[in-house]
Amino acid sequence: MSLIYKAGGNGLADPAACPGHENDLAIVHAVDTGRPWTAETGRAPQGRHAPRKPTRRVAAARVATARLGPCDGSCDAPWPSTPQSVRGWSRRVLKECNDSQKDELMHTLAGPPVVLSEGPTLRLRDLTAADLATLTRIWGDPTVMADMSSEVRTERECAALLDQARRDAQERPRRSYRMAVVRRRDDVMIGTTAVDLERHRSAFSHSSSLLPEHQRTGAAVEGFALVCELVFGSLNRHRLTLTCTVDNTAVERLALAAGAALVGTIPEYACKNGSWRDDKLFSLVDHQWRASRLVRLMERQRQRHARGERPPSALAEA
C-alpha cells in the first residue's frame, strides 16, 4: 500500500486503476480531502468541494491507511463519507498506532529530507532513519571521537540521538539543527554537524565530525563554510560561536580562515574519560564571515563547478 500512496501523491490515483485496493484508495482519498470519492466522475470533487490541505492528524491517518494494507471486508472501520466521520475515523486509526509508528508515519509524510545548505560538492540536510548506520560508524569510532566533547556512543545511544534530532526538526520555532553532511552527486553521508540557536541572534556550532576516510580531503572546510552560510543566511544570525580542544590546530586554523576571533580558553570545559579538559572559544560575527578568505574560496569553487571543472582541495587553499 505504501507504493500506492507514493504513486498517488496528494491527489492519489483512480481507485479503479488499482484492482484489489479500491476501498483503501477511496478511504485514503476521503481522509486526504474530507470528501468521498465520486465514482461517477472518476475524479475528486472540484470547486468548493476541492481537496483541502490536510491537518497533521488527518495526514497521519492518510499514511496509516496507505500502510494498513487492502481491506478484506472483515474490518469494522466505518466508511468516512463526511468530514465529521473522517475526523473520528482518523482518531481511531491513530489510537491503534504506538508512538514509534506515529513518528514513522509523520516522518514518511514529510517526504525527502530538507536540504539546508548546499555547496559545490557537499550539502547539509536533515537526518533520516537511513543515516543510523553511518552515525554509528562516526560516533562509535574512538579515533573520530577523540577530539569531541562526548564519549564513544553505542548503536542504541546513536539511535536515541537520531530520534531526538528528527523530533527537533519538527519543532516550531525550530531551535536545533543536527544535520548530515552528504555528497551532492549521490547523497551519501560522510559526516555530521549541529547548530543550536541561542539568544541575541546567536548560534552555537558543535558536534562536527567526518568519517575517517573523508578527513583531510577538504570536506571539513566546505562543511564548515556551509554551516556559516546557513547561520548567516537563511537563519539570519548575527554571531556564531564554536569550541575546540586546545590542541586541535586543524579546527583553529579553519575558524581563523573563516574570520573568527579567538576569545580565549575556557578552563575545564568538558569532562571526558573522568578528566576535565580545556577548550578554546571562537566567535564569528556576520561581517567577519563575509570578509573572510573562506567566502572567496567558496565562490571560486562554485565558479569552477559551474564550468564543469573539478574543485581543488579546499583544505590546501584554506
Could you tell me the residue ranges of all domains in the chain? 2-110, 115-317
Contact partners, residue 59, CB within 8 Å, separation at least 6: 32, 106, 109
Torsion of CA 37, 42, 43, 49, to 10 degrees: -50
Cα 184 to Cα 39, 41, 98, 181: the distances in Å are: 44, 44, 35, 9
Rg (CA), the chain: 24
Provide the pLDDT for residue 273.
Answer: 83
- DSSP letter string over 192-206? EEEEEEETTTEEEEE
Provide the pLDDT for residue 113.
Answer: 81
- Bridge-partner residues for 126, per DSSP? 179
pTM score, whole prediction:
0.68
**Rounded distance between C-alpha atoms, residue 5 and residue 42, angstroms:** 18
Name the helix (H) or strand (E) containing 293: helix 293-306
- Say how many Å lie between the first and final Cα of the chain, rounded: 50
pLDDT tens, residue order, the chain (318 aa): 232 332 333 333 344 444 444 444 444 444 444 444 444 434 444 444 444 444 444 444 444 444 443 333 334 443 344 444 444 545 555 565 656 555 555 555 455 788 999 999 999 999 998 999 999 999 999 999 988 888 999 999 999 999 999 999 989 899 999 999 999 999 999 999 999 999 999 999 999 999 999 998 899 999 999 999 999 999 999 999 999 999 999 999 999 999 999 999 999 998 888 899 999 999 999 999 999 999 999 999 999 888 887 655 444 444
Provide the pLDDT for residue 107.
Answer: 53
The grid coordinates of residue 87 equal 475526523
Provide the pLDDT for residue 46.
Answer: 47
Provide the pLDDT for residue 186.
Answer: 92
104 with 130: CB under 8 angstroms?
no
User: At the top level of CATH, which class does the domain 115-317 belong to?
Assistant: alpha beta
The grid coordinates of residue 25 equal 484508495
Torsion of CA 293, 298, 300, 301, to 10 degrees: 140
Provide the pLDDT for residue 112.
Answer: 72
